[in-house]
Structure 1
Amino acid sequence: MKTKNVVLGLAVIAMGFTSCKNETEMKAEKTVDSYEKYVDSVGKVAEVDAKANWAAVEAGYEARTAEAEAALENFKDKTKAQERLHASKAKYAELKAKYEAQVAAEQKAKAETTTAATGNGLRDTFFGGKLGEDMNFNWVNKDNILSVYQNFVDTFNKNKDSYSREDFDKIKTWYEALDAHKNKVEKEGLTSKDNLQIAKLKLEFAPKFKWERMTAKADENAKAKE
């Protein structure tokens, strides 16, 4: 009788272990199911919404991936569960690559539009909106050319740390065009006093511009390598 009770007791304990183990594996199964459903749901979200909230999507994915990978330990057939995870990871990676490519393309287009829009804005800071794309300096004469140079140098000194390599190239073109026009203005009666002041400004500007432009190019090359 006692032996029978012992056997029954062991059977009950064994059933308890089996039940506990089944419950643990069921919980793991639900975790992996949730992971698969999350990845599937990302593919069903409207592209515009997915891209707009991609940081949140990525955070949710990372959290569920960690949970699913931890749950693998509770599967009898880990190989099959691992294959399910790999399949969902591949599906997510494909979605991520697609959205990131679209976002990169949109950002590039936006940057190009901004560059085009700010190109005139940058030029206006140096010439007060008086210089057009035709680079016509006819509005610069012997009476105002000193102030034009002064504004050019002052503007550069004020904003030199914010210019990109492309900006420096534009500034160089504008400066050289202004210098070329100065030769014409000198023949129109530019005073010696103003000419001397312009020479001082040019002497101040040239080495500073060369250094800043060279530094900007070096910085962008370094970032590109990263």
Structure 2
Amino acid sequence: MKAIKLFAALTILVFVATSCKNENELKAEKNVNQYASYVDSIIKVEPEVAAEDWVDIEASAEFKKSEALEALDAIEGREIFDSKLEESSKKFDVYKEGVESKMEVASGTGAGNTTQTTPLSKSLFGIVIGKDLNFNWVNKDNIHQVYKNFVNTVSANKKTYSREDWDEIKLLYEALDTRKNTVEKEGLSTKDNLKIATLKTEFATMFKLNRIGAKSEENSDAKS
């Protein structure tokens, strides 16, 4: 009788373990496919059009990719999923270069141009960022906190920023993102990457809503 009970208990444990494994694999497959589908749909958009809403687009892409990476960490035999994720990631990176080149031309921050920043950067990062937009002080150990401080500061002061302030904030944000691309290759953890992706999504929404508001207020002032 004891042997029967033991066998039944072991059977249940095996079933539970198998179910968890299948559930984790299904979640990983779903998240990878969602990221791949998002990338495939985005790269069909003309770069000039995507540039208008790039902060939001890039934040969504990074969040979906981070979710996929987190799900992959919970399974074994992830090589096929890794391959698909990497393929989509490369597609997005190539497309991103095209969009950012259009943005540089539009803003005049391409090669041969200089970028002027103001002490606004000190409130966002604790130091004044020069016109070279150097973020080499950001590394895999502090980058999550840098993003967190940045987003929290912007959130706390969002009602006071002018359109010009928002344009500078976007410029600094994009420079930080460029540094993040390097930091990811230096061992940024999946956990921190997902936290940063969440912060980026929060910032994208905040930027979109508040910059429009700031612009409308300035136009209203100009007409009065």
Give TM-score scaled by structure 2 length: 0.47
Whichever structure has more helix as a proportion of its residues is 1
Q: Please tell me whether Structure 1 or Structure 2 has the larger radius of gyration of its CA atoms.
A: 1
Give TM-score scaled by structure 1 length: 0.46
